Amino acid sequence: MSQARPGGRLPARVYWVRRFVVLGIPLLLVVLVVWLVAGRGSGADTPAAASDTTSTAPTASQTPTSTTGGILACTPDHLALTVAAAAESFPAGVNPAFTVTIANTGSEPCLVDAGEAQRQIVITSGEDRVWSNQDCVATGTETRSLLLSPGPDGADAQQLAWNRVRSAAGCPDGLPAPGAGTYSIAFGVAGAAAPPVVFGLG
């Protein structure tokens, strides 16, 4: 039996095996890298979509004409305000009493802030500004959200009494007390205003 001598030519099958190994390993590595990259890319798509959804939600809630839940904010055109005095004149020693009403004249429910920091109630006597609720706003009364249904049945009515004192910006003490005479009360909120009502003090 003859033996292969060193440096002799190998069979063709050996060369084909070597070529397969040399070409197959790099190809396998390329396939593996592509698979890993594709797997990571598909996994990152889901958080991106969730992030978009989260970022667009606050934008919708910040729309100036709407509030959370899709309820519209009341506009001046859809508000009817009234102020009524309990009597035409109040004798000495009797505090004047009033009823202020806010009604929704639109066709859909709407929200309005009728807190002391938002509504304006002003009492005057001629050119003299005598009293305003804005001068001495009590803590905890600044805001009062009202969901008003359309029509008279959905109106909000509040009673208030004026203790015959004068007020000024900054709520100073020691102001002169208003005397007997003719006075007028005005009421406004959210850009809407009620017709002023005249009353007398004895």
User: 89-117 pLDDT, tens per residue?
Assistant: 999 999 999 999 999 999 999 999 999 98
Residue 138 has pLDDT above 60, yes or no: yes
The band of 141, judged by pLDDT with boundaries at 50, 70 and 90, is: confident
- Give the mean pLDDT of 140-146: 91
Q: How far apart are CA 120 and CA 173, in angstroms?
A: 21
User: Given the structure tokens 């806010």, which residue do they identify?
Assistant: 102
Length of the chain counted residue by residue: 202
